[in-house]
Chain A
Amino acid sequence: MGHKTYFHIKQTGRNLRHNWPTQLMTVMTISLSVLIFSFFLLIYLNIVNAGNRLGDELRLIVYLNEEVAPEVKQMYENKIREFGKVERIEFISRAEAFARLGRQLDTEKDVLADLGPDFLPPSIEVYPRRSMRNLTSLKQFSDYLTTLPAAQKVQYGRSWVERFGYFIELLRVIVILSGVLLVMATVFMVSYTIRLTVVAKEEELAVLRLVGADNKFIQTPLLIEGVLQGVIGSACGILLLYLIFRWTTGHLSGPGFLNMLDFAFFPPKTTAIIAGTSVLLCAGGSLISIRKFMRI
């Protein structure tokens, strides 16, 4: 019984040796599909990540006619929290707003000297929770905040949120499409090569049947063949992406878009999931051929 694996692997070796150009083409197709899919996935995940980090800075600013007296702050807070989920609320007085601007201007502080500390309006800064960070919720929230007493106008990075939302949506579609491509290419290519193996080995398979080989003896090597294509193909694809990633981050280092994004490679778990799924797809592809082309 212990020799089963040995014979299955030996048989697999014979099959592989026999039509290696096709095998090579299949492995290359799988690598390419894995590369394309994981490339877009990597970009998508990083952008989403960056979006979340930038989103932490996202706030609605309610400009007020007058300073909020300390005793009504609680009333404001309650009213705001009544409407939506809020991370935190900050009250900015005229003086604080002036001080902050001063800090931002730093060396050119002198320009403020003539204006006096009262020229900026007081405001309330509302940091919405993550679940509120979409255009519709923000718009509704903003409309509501306008109705607060003493509210003059409400501002938030509307166009930015809008564009970022579309961008993420587009990326999501691309990731899904390349995922579909990955599924179709791997399953098709693997089942195609296994079919070639079956056709090319028809005579041998017939002899194996005549001497009483059971299904396992005939099918297991074909399954191993598919799984092997999946393992090698996805390993190559992911390795290639990693090399591209290293090269790009190496050459585009310094202050720039990538650094702003804090671009990172997949964590090991995601890598394992991508590879594992590809291998499963390949196994599926070979099973399709085994079922279809061998009447058992």
Chain B
Amino acid sequence: MIKSFSDDLPIVDIVKATKVYPPDIIAVQNVSLAVGKGELVFLTGMSGAGKTTLLKMVCCIEQPTKGVIEVAGHDLSRIRQTEIQKLRRQIGVVYQDFKILPKQTVYENIAIPMEVMYRSPKEIRKRVDQLLETLRITHKRNIQTAKLSRGEQQRVAIARAAANEPPLILADEPTGNLDSEVSGYVMELFKQLNNAGSTIIIATHDESIYRKSRHRKVELQHGLFSGHVGHRQLPLINA
């Protein structure tokens, strides 16, 4: 495992991060957020609020224009490519646009992160089948993902992010295309993973999945945290 995936330090530490897309679109402005190990955090806010941008910066797809982002103690602006790859193996990401491979089957897509970790074929088969079961898509196991509905594709993306039971999971609108019943299964999976020790950040505008939740919620508005602009204290680890 990676350096300082330890209990005391925040696993994700965003300090006054700002992201400006060219020419001058401010997606995230002066945002600070610390997420401790084992937390499950809902990152809420209307569409366009900057949730996706924030998650992309955490998994090294985008660089912040200003500010510092640390993941597991690594300053992402100073990390080498090989270290980024190592870090990414510890992070499961559900992308808002899925980023699954259309020509490969459901099974193959979910297996990819485990193959990258060189898990045994037997282990992979067992885990993938288990995830298919949990998300109720066992019957689509050997079908190309291009032929699935959006909701089914989304579940493939979720299963892939969960495959390795990574220490950190970032989920961007994971229930965006799902009905409430399937959303329930997905949230059940996230809770299982969280109980097993994974830290999870869920970006969502779907009020139904976080309204009754006892977990921490932070809200982004126009790239700022509502109420407590650019402050580190409030969105810190909640006890």
Chain A residues within CB distance 8 Å of chain B: 1, 3-4, 6-7, 10, 203-204, 206-215, 217, 296
Contacts and interface: CB of A to CB of B under 8 A. Distances in A.
B119 A3 contact: yes
B233 interface: no
Contact of A7 (B100, B101, B118, B160): B118
Contacts of B89: 211-212
B64 interface: no
A13 to B, nearest CB: 12
B203 interface: no
A208 B121 contact: no
B116 to A, nearest CB: 4
A212 B85 contact: yes
Contacts of B90: 212
Given A4-B118, A212-B116, A296 B81 contact: yes
A3 B121 contact: yes
B118 A211 contact: no
A213 B116 contact: yes
> What 7 pairs between A and B have smallest CB-CB spacing?
A212-B88, A212-B89, A211-B113, A213-B116, A3-B118, A212-B85, A7-B115
B82 interface: yes
A203 B101 contact: yes
Contacts of A209: 85, 88
Interface of B: 59, 61, 81-82, 85-91, 93, 95, 99-101, 104, 112-113, 115-116, 118-121, 160
B119 to A, nearest CB: 7
Contact of B93 (A7, A10, A210): A210
Given A203-B101, A217-B116, A296-B81, A211 B160 contact: yes
B121 A6 contact: yes
Given A211-B89, A214-B82, 15 more contacts: A1-B118, A7-B118, A204-B101, A204-B104, A207-B99, A208-B112, A209-B85, A209-B88, A210-B61, A210-B88, A211-B88, A212-B87, A212-B89, A213-B116, A215-B85
24 contacts: A3-B118, A3-B119, A3-B120, A10-B115, A203-B101, A204-B101, A206-B99, A207-B100, A208-B112, A209-B88, A211-B89, A211-B113, A211-B116, A212-B85, A212-B86, A212-B91, A212-B113, A213-B85, A214-B82, A214-B116, A215-B82, A217-B115, A217-B116, A296-B81
Contacts of A211: 88-89, 112-113, 116, 160
A212 B112 CA distance: 10
B81 A207 contact: no
Nearest to A217: B116
Residue from the set A3, A212, A217, A296 with the largest chain B CB neighbour count within 10 Å: A212
Nearest to A204: B101
Contacts of B88: 209-212
A208 B99 contact: no
A4 B117 CA distance: 9
A210 B90 CA distance: 11
B118 to A, nearest CB: 5
Nearest to B102: A203
Nearest to B160: A211
A222 to B, nearest CB: 16
A208 B85 CA distance: 10
Nearest to B108: A14
Contacts of A203: 101
Contacts of A207: 99-101, 112
Contacts of A296: 81
A224 B88 CA distance: 25
Contacts of B160: 211
A175 B82 CA distance: 45
A210 B99 contact: yes
Nearest to B120: A3
Contacts of B119: 3
Residue from the set A1, A7, A208, A215 with the largest chain B CB neighbour count within 10 Å: A7
